């Protein structure tokens, strides 16, 4: 089925879009056996984790997330960047997965029981997909929960931070140093200007190429090269569905743009998929 409706024409209210297209979208969800999902910061927004576009607060109010997520920023002000990551780690630990994360687990289980599969690749460095019970194929931008030496790469085992994620820390703390070489310890995330983990990137590309439905949820589609991965679905005319309250850099390549929150639209999609 070649879906002709492009999102430029489909930017109407999400539930209306979903209701108007219930037959099309619901049968896509119901018939799909190999679903590839790419998530971004937006899927964790309803859990209370700020997205990358949101304005920073407290110690970091003068910086954008993009300013801080770089090796230059860490070299210039290791304590400020290190504390940002430890504070974010604390905040993630204080929040819970939301209905959007849970819906993907249910869809993943529904398909696995029927010989199909749903794969999740995320740009997020949080572990909310895993804590909801999902198997995650790839963390394209790493994890905020593991750490390594910025110089020699030795893994560092650290105690959990004890910040209150709902308040800004009073002052920054220096990062610990490597036991082997004395250089600073850094978070195991991919900073701007750094390469993505190739295995994670290639595995995600393979599942999108091989999917019969691609869902892009909660991403602005700005950060490359992750944001280009959904375009691989165009090679085989695989249907693309976006779940986002706003128009994104990817909207015009989508077959359907479901305008609303992942916490409400993903459960609606999954109930359509599971309907007999
Ligand atoms: C690299 C980890 C090169 C750190 C992150 C073209 C090709 C390749 C690179 C580039 C390129 N053009 C530019 C670049 C450079 C750069 C880049 O993309 N810049 C952008 C700003 C243009 N890319 C890189 O530097 C990448 N590396 O290219 O290396 C190289 C090559 C060879 C050898 C050496 C080097 C590395 C990029 C990774 C950066 N690290 N994260 C950390 O987390 O601190 S990226 C970070 O920002 C997040 O992980 C996330 O992925 C990204 C933000 O994107 P989103 O997830 O989409 O979040 P965002 O806030 O933007 O949007 C939220 C969305 O949610 C919105 O649309 C909103 O409407 C929606 N939403 C809100 N509420 C809800 C919702 N949706 C649903 N439900 C809701 N309730
Ligand atoms: Zn070291």
Query: How far away, in angstroms, is 83 Cα from ligand 2 center?
Result: 19
pLDDT band at 57 (very low <50, low <70, confident <90, very high): confident
Give the Cα-Cα-Cα angle 112, 118, 119 (nearest 5 degrees).
Answer: 125
Residue to substitute in 37, 42, 81, 138 for testing ligand 1 pocket (most ligand atoms within 8 angstroms of CB): 42
Query: Positive or negative, the Cα torsion across 10, 14, 20, 23?
Result: positive
Query: How are strands ordered across the β-sheet holding 117-122?
Result: 138-139, 117-122, 34-39, 213-217, 240-243, 256-258
**CA distances for 270 relative to 49, 60, 101, 164, 172, angstroms:** 23, 38, 11, 34, 43
More confident residue, 87 or 11: 87
CA-nearest residue for atom 14, ligand 1, is 224
pLDDT given at position 54: 84
Answer for the pair 269, 21: CB distance below 8 angstroms, yes or no. no
pLDDT at residue number 7: 63
Which one, of 36, 6, 39, 25, lies nearest residue 261 by Cα? 39
**Which is it for the CA torsion 118, 121, 103, 257, positive or negative?**
negative
Assess whether pLDDT exceeds 70 at residue 1.
no
The average pLDDT across 39-60 equals 92
Please report how many Cα atoms fall inside a 13 Å half-sphere around the Cα of residue 4, on the Cβ side. 0
Residue nearest to atom 33 of ligand 1 (CA): 195
Q: Is the pLDDT confidence value at 9 over 80?
A: no
Question: Which tokens in the block code for residue 50?
Answer: 């700020």
> Whole-number mean pLDDT of the chain?
91
Residues 256 and 258: their CA atoms lie apart, in Å, by 6
Whole-angstrom distance, CA of residue 274 vs CA of residue 267 = 10
The predicted model scores a pTM of 0.94
- Judge contact between 102 and 119, C-beta under 8 A: no
| Per-residue pLDDT at 235 exceeds 50 | yes
Range(s) for CATH 3.30.1600.10 in the chain? 51-94+143-189
Choose which residue among 192, 195, 205 to substitute to test ligand 1 binding: the one with the highest number of ligand atoms within 8 A of its C-beta: 192
Q: What percent of the chain has pLDDT above 70?
A: 92
pLDDT score, position 99: 98
3-state secondary structure of 162: coil
Query: pLDDT-derived band of residue 265, with 50, 70 and 90 as boundaries?
Result: very high
74, 224, 245, best to mutate for ligand 1 pocket (most atoms within 8 Å of CB): 224
Residue 28 and residue 123: Cα distance in Å, rounded? 25
Q: Work out the end-to-end distance of the chain between its first and last CA atoms, rounded to an integer number of angstroms.
A: 20
The 3-class secondary structure across 100-123, one letter per residue, is HHHHHHHHHHHHHCCCCEEEEEEC
- Band (pLDDT 50/70/90 cuts) for residue 111 is very high
**Ligand 1 atom closest to residue 42's alpha carbon, by position in its atom list:** 65
Q: What is the mean pLDDT of residues 126-135?
A: 98
Residues with beta carbon inside 6 Å of ligand 1? 40-42, 45-46, 51-53, 66, 69, 123, 125, 141, 189-195, 218-220, 222-225, 243-246, 248, 261-263
Instruction: Look at residue 24 in the predicted model and tell me its pLDDT.
Output: 86
- Which residue reads 């572990």 in tokens? 127
Ligand approaching nearest to the C-alpha of 147: 2
Dump pLDDT digits (tens) for 174-216: 999 999 999 999 999 999 999 999 999 999 999 999 999 999 9
Q: How confident is the model at residue 22 (pLDDT cuts 50, 70, 90)?
A: low
pLDDT at 16 over 50: no
- Measured distance CA(247)–CA(258) in Å, rounded: 10
More confident residue, 16 or 79: 79
Q: Could you list the active site residues?
A: 141
Q: What is the pLDDT of residue 2?
A: 32
Residues composing the chain? 276
Pick the CATH number of 51-94+143-189 from 3.30.980.10, 3.60.15.10, 3.30.1600.10, 3.90.1010.10: 3.30.1600.10
Which is higher by pLDDT, 56 or 176?
176
CB 148 within 8 A of CB 154: yes
The answer as to CATH 3.40.50.720 being correct for domain 1-49+97-141+196-276 is no
CATH code 3.40.50.1220 region(s) in the chain: 1-49+97-141+196-276
């Amino acid at each position: 089925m070649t879906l002709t409706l492009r999102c430029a024409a489909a930017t109407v209210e999400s539930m209306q879009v979903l209701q108007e297209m219930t037959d099309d979208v619901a049968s896509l969800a119901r018939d799909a056996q190999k679903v590839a999902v790419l998530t971004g910061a937006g899927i964790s927004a309803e859990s209370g984790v700020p997205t990358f576009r949101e304005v920073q607060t407290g110690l970091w109010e003068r910086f954008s997330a993009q300013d801080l997520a770089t090796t230059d920023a860490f070299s210039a002000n290791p304590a400020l960047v290190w504390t940002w990551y430890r504070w974010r780690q604390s905040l993630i630990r204080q929040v819970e997965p939301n209905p959007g994360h849970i819906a993907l687990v249910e869809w993943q289980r529904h398909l696995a029981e029927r010989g199909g599969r749903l794969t999740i690749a995320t740009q997020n460095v949080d572990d909310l997909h895993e804590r909801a019970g999902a198997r995650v194929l790839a963390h394209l931008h790493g994890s905020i929960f593991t750490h390594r030496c910025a110089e020699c790469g030795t893994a560092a085992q650290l105690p959990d931070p004890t910040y209150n994620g709902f308040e800004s820390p009073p002052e920054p703390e220096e990062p610990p140093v490597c036991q082997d070489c004395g250089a600073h310890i850094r978070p195991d995330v991919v900073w701007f200007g750094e390469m993505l983990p190739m295995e994670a990137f290639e595995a995600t590309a393979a599942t999108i190429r091989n999917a019969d439905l691609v869902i892009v949820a909660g991403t602005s589609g700005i950060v490359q090269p992750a944001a280009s991965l959904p375009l691989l679905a165009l090679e085989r005319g695989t249907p693309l569905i976006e779940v986002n309250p706003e128009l994104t850099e990817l909207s015009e390549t989508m077959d359907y743009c479901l305008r609303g929150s992942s916490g409400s639209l993903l459960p609606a999609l999954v109930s359509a998929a599971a309907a007999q």
